[in-house]
């Protein structure tokens, strides 16, 4: 398996534009996480899906952020409109079902977002 | 969520053992102790986890105090490639509720390995 795949790897956009980050989890995994990492705030959990259903979105900073998981193999994180303070590295992670015994989460390489 | 406390940074020499401590005095009986690390410019990667007993794998060992209020990640022979930020995380084991399965990262310990 190629691991968790995120696209794009880098994104530079102008303030006010819509940004969509994409994630393909590892096949067979049923949990998916979106994180944001900045120097000031570290790694923050934004939202957590289980079986394509959002379980906890309490970390989503505001209404400008939205996340979807239309099927088990794809998720998006959208920011509309984007602001300079959204600049960060965004990570997606997936984890297999609990009954498979392995509980480790696998992270993608991240998307570095710069909003100018 | 139960909180963990780690030193901001630690240093080691190559090929020496490293003991990375983590305090989790408010841990509940259903919390697993997980360790992840983040190499420069990469996403976090799983290192090891445990509940009550000490654990060993190919990457490291995890020593858990008898009262479970602290744990220590042990790298037996540090290499330059082990330079990373190490995160100690508590993960709720019980099914159900919004906290189940969440991985909440703290600030971690920056490990520097000297040649």
A65 touches chain B (CB under 8 A): no
- Chain B nearest-CA distance from A22, in A, is 15
Which pLDDT tens digits describe chain A residue by residue (116 residues)?
A: 689 999 999 999 999 999 999 999 999 999 999 999 999 999 999 999 999 999 889 999 889 999 999 999 999 999 999 999 999 999 999 998 876 565 789 999 999 999 99
Q: What is the pLDDT of residues B6-60, one digit of tens each?
A: 999 999 999 999 999 999 998 988 888 999 999 999 999 999 999 999 999 999 9
Residue A111 pairs in a beta bridge with: A90
- Kindly determine whether residue B105 and residue A104, on different chains, have CB atoms separated by under 8 Å: no
**Six-digit token pair at A91?**
């990570």
A102 touches chain B (CB under 8 A): no
% of chain B with per-residue pLDDT over 70: 90
Residue in B with minimal Cα distance to A90? B43
From chain B, the residues in CB contact with A110 under 8 A are 42-43
A5 touches chain B (CB under 8 A): no
- Per DSSP bridges, beta strands A88-95 and A111-115 are antiparallel
Q: H helices within chain B, ranges in order?
A: none
Q: What is the pLDDT of residues A30-62, one digit of tens each?
A: 999 999 999 999 999 999 999 999 988 999 988
- Per DSSP bridges, beta strands B9-13 and B109-114 are parallel
The span from the CA of B83 to the CA of B74, in Å, is: 14
Predicted pLDDT of residue B94? 59
Predicted pLDDT of residue B54? 93
Percent helix, percent strand, percent coil in chain A, to nearest 5: 5, 55, 40
């Amino acid at each position: 398996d190629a691991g968790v795949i995120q696209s794009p790897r880098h994104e530079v956009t102008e303030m006010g534009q819509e940004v969509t980050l994409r994630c393909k989890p590892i096949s067979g995994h049923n949990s998916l996480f979106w994180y944001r990492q900045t120097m000031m705030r570290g790694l923050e959990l934004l939202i957590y899906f289980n079986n394509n259903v959002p379980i906890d979105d309490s970390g989503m900073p505001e209404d400008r952020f939205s996340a979807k998981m239309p099927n088990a193999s794809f998720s998006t994180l959208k920011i509309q409109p984007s602001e300079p303070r959204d600049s960060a590295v965004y990570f997606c992670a997936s984890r297999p079902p609990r009954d498979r015994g392995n509980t480790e989460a696998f992270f993608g390489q991240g998307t570095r977002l710069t909003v100018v | 969520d139960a909180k963990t406390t780690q030193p901001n940074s630690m240093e080691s020499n190559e090929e020496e053992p490293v003991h990375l401590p983590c305090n989790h005095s408010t841990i509940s009986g259903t919390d697993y102790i997980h360790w992840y690390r983040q190499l420069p410019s990469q996403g976090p990667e799983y290192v090891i986890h445990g509940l009550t007993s000490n654990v060993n794998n190919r990457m490291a060992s995890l020593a858990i105090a008898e009262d479970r209020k602290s744990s220590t990640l042990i790298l037996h022979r540090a290499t330059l490639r082990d330079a990373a930020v190490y995160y100690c995380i508590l993960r709720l084991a019980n099914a159900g509720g919004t906290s189940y399965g969440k991985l909440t990262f703290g600030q971690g310990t920056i490990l520097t390995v000297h040649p």
